[in-house]
Structure 1
Amino acid sequence: MTMKTLFLQAPSFEGFDGGAGSRYQAKREIRSFWFPTWLAQPAAMIPGSRLLDAPPGDVSVEETLQVAAAYALCVIHTSTPSFPSDVRMAELLKARYPQMLIGMVGAKVAVEPEESLQASTAVDFVAREEFDYTLTEVAEGRPFDEIDGITYRSGSGQIVHNPDRAMIEDMDALPFVSEVYKRDLRIEDYFIGYLKHPYVSLYTGRGCRSQCTFCLWPQTVGGHRYRTRSVASVIDEVRYIQQNFPQVQEIFFDDDTFTDDRPRAEEIARGLGKLGVTWSCNAKANVPYETLKVLHENGLRLLLVGYESGDQQILNNIKKGLKIEAARKFTADCHKLGIVIHGTFILGLPGETKETIQKTIHFAKEINPHTIQVSLAAPYPGTFLYNQAKQEGWLTDEDEAHLVNDRGVQISPMSYPHLNHTEIFDSVELMYKRFYFRAGKIAEITGEMLKSTQMMKRRLREGVEFVRFLRQRHG
């Protein structure tokens, strides 16, 4: 008998996007929620399971406890910022349902399994690495000592660390996550400011070939090999989404870098073109014009591009593998083709100075993506950046515990002798204001609003949320 399993993204900070699709676990500038794809995948593999994503649906702790009554196994996704509140949720579950088996997954417990279990006896095990088949075996009732990829507390209270689980090679063997979205989620609860609403996101592969020192998922769970689903599998799931979510306006492929395999990306694009769908994806700022043209002609609307910095030395420091001039040409090509860009930048990376911050702001204004996201350098445990920051003294033990404030808003944990926490933190607001409060950008967004009543309502709501967010940053 398979245990009835609840996959849980627990209640946390109000508006906190800590889901397993979120690159940065924090409350964003405007209401933003990624789909909990990493939880949906094992949920699709275990009969009788349920995925409860509490934050987007504003599900309370008490409501969560009531839902959990029907389940024998609860798997909680956690992150470094949300770990303390997720542990409290586990303790409340164990207090009410002492026989419930409780496990945790996510990058946090993958790299700190023993420390995570030591935090509370309410957590019975953690699943490391890719945990899809690991959780399937747990739900099937297999003895813990026979399950690769888990760290668990034995009957005598000892913490046991089983061998690592092998990476998944046959990605087509995994069932569609969109079937779990259909069964358990309300897709209208998921918002991303630069994507059409409602949207659906999914992965067509896992892992990333790039070596960026700050990036969490490839260094902790997904690995640096890009393991992909077949083109036919991807097209079949998109067809399923078309048939079961007629309200969806856009599909987003959340692979770390969908464009890493250009021939495959072009083949998928041609299949999507035949289906007539609007789609977007992550991309590195080095895709050649010819590939961009094929993608755009077959329904590509937007690219999410990690520029990170306008300073070449900082890009070298973080092993971005990108030249500023290549990024300029790529962006110009996208503008020429009519591909919308949402550009992401990170302030406070190694090598940052007051001058490089100004350089990044100037670069963002120069290349002019349609919208931007500005994040603070976040040294998550398990990343090269974390180890580097600890070794160099940029991150103290006290600062390490504070990636977000008491409202879930991202703060700057790292500081340098020449650039302190406050200067880095304040630079985010400065960059947003310098980028958006320009006559040309205001005219561009106003024009977008005038073309659509729905867009006007949405942008006005987002504007109010953005102003509120800036106020909350200074608390």
Structure 2
Amino acid sequence: MTLRTLFLQAPSFDGYDGGAGARYQMKREVRSFWYPTWLAQPAALVEGSRLIDAPAHDQSWDDIAHEVDDKELVILHTSTPSFRQDVHTAELIKGRNPNAIIGFIGAKAAVESQKVLDTSAAVDFVCRNEFDFTVLDVASGMPLSEVDGISYRDASGAIVHNKDRAVVEDMDTLPFVSPIYKRDLTIEKYFGGYLRHPYVSFYTGRGCKSRCTFCLWPQTVGGHNYRTRSIPHVVEEVRYVLREMPQVKEIFFDDDTLTDNAPRIEEIAVALGALGFGRPGFPVSWSCNAKANVPRKTLEIMKAGGCRLLLVGYESGNQKILHNIKKGLRVDVARQFTKDCHDLGIVIHGTFILGLPGETLETIEETIEYAKEINPHTIQVSLAAPYPGTFLYKQATENGWFDNSNELLTDGGTQIAQLSYPHLPASVIFDKVEEFYKRFYFRPRKMGAIVGEMIRDFDMMKRRLREGVEFFSFLRHRKQAA
């Protein structure tokens, strides 16, 4: 008999995007929430389960406490920034329902399983690496001693590390996550500053062949072998969204870099075009993560098939820094890619990171000027975040780059500049984020484009005004956190 199971993203900071889908957990410059896909996937496997995403739904412990009363198994997603709060929630659950088995999933649990279990007796087991079928085995009543891919506390209190579980190779064996969104979540609660609202996101594959030293999921859970769902399987989930969630205006494919496999993304684009995407009047668009090296021919096929936006990790405008982080990208190639997207009418949300190895005041200036030159529609500027399990974390530890503390966020959820170099202290890197935003957005050309967009679309006007208030509030809180 399947255990009565709750999948939970625990309550946390107000406006904190710590969900089991956010690559980096923090409060955003504009209020944003990613879908808890990494929780929804095993929830889709476990019959009769329930998913609660408390941060996105503004739920406190008091709001959800009753939900744990009859549960036999509770699975919490955790991350390095949210870990203390997640442990506190686990202890509250045990205090209310001592018989519940509590398991932790996520990158933090995968790479620091012993540490997680040592922290609190309330945590009975953690899942290492890819955990969908691991959770299913536990929920099916299999003794913990027989479940591959977990570390657990046995009856004597000793911590036992079972053998690893093989990763999923046939991705079509995983059920759709969108029915779980429809069943358990209010999709209007999920925002992306650059995505049409409401949106839905899911994966068409896992893993990423790139070796970026800072990137979290491939180095901790997903791996570097890109395993994909079949095109018909992907298209059928898109059909489900169109049929069952008619309010959705955009579908975001959340693969680390969907465009790494050009023939496959072209095939997906053609299949989506056959559904109506890209045709005049069709109400839904699609978007995805992309590396800034997609050939123009592929971009043309994507655009024809309804692709509206690409989320592109430029990271830096300095070639040496891109080499340092093993980005596998040339600045001149990225520049041409961006020009092609502008020519074709594909919108770009560009992401940049300050404080990566090799950063100087001069390279920061180079990156700001580069961003202004290539001119993505919107940008996100983050601080280098050395999460445990990444090569960047190993570098920072070995070279003594950590600035006083290993904390990634303030108590209020604002990102901290963790890395400090003899020639470039963390405080300077922190301040440069605000300068980057102001110099990019407060230009006549960019301000005119934003105002024009608002004039053409009343819904966009309301949205941009709200985001403007949130943006300035974000900057104010950053100053208070400094």
Q: When the two structures are superposed, what TM-score results if normalisation uses the length of structure 1? A: 0.99
Which residue number corresponds to residue 422 of structure 2? Answer: 417
Matched, 1:218 2:179: no
- Give the 5 Å matches for 1:5-404: 5-277=5-277, 278-395=285-402, 398-400=404-406, 402-404=407-409
**In structure 1, what is the Cα distance between the partners aligned to 2:70 and 2:270?**
45
**In structure 2, what is the Cα distance between the partners aligned to 1:404 and 1:90?**
21
**In structure 2, what is the Cα distance between the partners aligned to 1:166 and 1:137?**
14
| Alignment check: 8 A CA contact 1:105 1:128 kept | yes
1:320 Cα deviation after fit: 0.2
For structure 1, the 5+ residue unaligned runs are: none
Which residue number corresponds to residue 462 of structure 1? Answer: 467
Which residue number corresponds to residue 440 of structure 2? Answer: 435
| Alignment check: 8 A CA contact 1:108 1:381 kept | yes
**In structure 1, what is the Cα distance between the partners aligned to 2:149 and 2:14?**
32
Query: Which amino acid in structure 1 is aligned with residue 395 of structure 2?
Result: Q
Q: What is the RMSD of the two structures over their aligned residues, measured on CA atoms?
A: 0.7
DSSP 3-state at the match of 1:474: helix
Per-residue displacement from partner, 1:156-190 (whole Å, max 9, x unpaired)?
A: 00000011110100100100000101110110000
DSSP 3-state at the match of 2:474: helix
**In structure 2, what is the Cα distance between the partners aligned to 1:56 and 1:317?**
36
1:317 Cα deviation after fit: 0.2
**In structure 2, what is the Cα distance between the partners aligned to 1:275 and 1:436?**
37
**In structure 1, what is the Cα distance between the partners aligned to 2:104 and 2:17?**
17
Match of 1:473 among 439, 456, 478: 478
Runs of 4+ in 1 over 4 A off after TM superposition: none
1:247 Cα deviation after fit: 0.5
Query: Which amino acid in structure 2 is aligned with residue 370 of structure 1?
Result: H
For structure 2, the 5+ residue unaligned runs are: 278-284
**In structure 2, what is the Cα distance between the partners aligned to 1:284 and 1:127?**
30
DSSP 3-state at the match of 2:340: helix
1:70 Cα deviation after fit: 2.7
**In structure 1, what is the Cα distance between the partners aligned to 2:25 and 2:70?**
29
1:66 Cα deviation after fit: 1.2
**In structure 2, what is the Cα distance between the partners aligned to 1:164 and 1:429?**
43
Report sequence identity in percent: 66
Per-residue displacement from partner, 1:418-437 (whole Å, max 9, x unpaired)?
A: 11111010110000000000
Query: Which amino acid in structure 2 is aligned with residue 98 of structure 1?
Result: P
**In structure 2, what is the Cα distance between the partners aligned to 1:166 and 1:355?**
45
| Alignment check: 8 A CA contact 1:399 1:414 kept | no
| Alignment check: 8 A CA contact 1:40 1:177 kept | yes
Query: Which amino acid in structure 1 is aligned with residue 52 of structure 2?
Result: L
Per-residue displacement from partner, 1:54-92 (whole Å, max 9, x unpaired)?
A: 001001111221111231110000000000000000000
**In structure 2, what is the Cα distance between the partners aligned to 1:376 and 1:24?**
11
Per-residue displacement from partner, 1:366-393 (whole Å, max 9, x unpaired)?
A: 0000000000000000000000010011
Query: Which amino acid in structure 2 is aligned with residue 10 of structure 1?
Result: A
1:276 Cα deviation after fit: 2.1
**In structure 1, what is the Cα distance between the partners aligned to 2:144 and 2:101?**
12
Per-residue displacement from partner, 1:277-318 (whole Å, max 9, x unpaired)?
A: 310000000000000000001100000000000000000000
Q: When the two structures are superposed, what TM-score results if normalisation uses the length of structure 2? A: 0.98
| Alignment check: 8 A CA contact 1:7 1:50 kept | yes
Query: Which amino acid in structure 2 is aligned with residue 380 of structure 1?
Result: Y
Aligned residues between the structures: 473
DSSP 3-state at the match of 1:44: helix
Match of 2:456 among 435, 451, 457: 451
**In structure 2, what is the Cα distance between the partners aligned to 1:466 and 1:283?**
25
Per-residue displacement from partner, 1:12-45 (whole Å, max 9, x unpaired)?
A: 1111111121111000001100000010000000
Query: Which amino acid in structure 2 is aligned with residue 212 of structure 1?
Result: C
| Alignment check: 8 A CA contact 1:309 1:360 kept | yes
1:406 Cα deviation after fit: 1.2
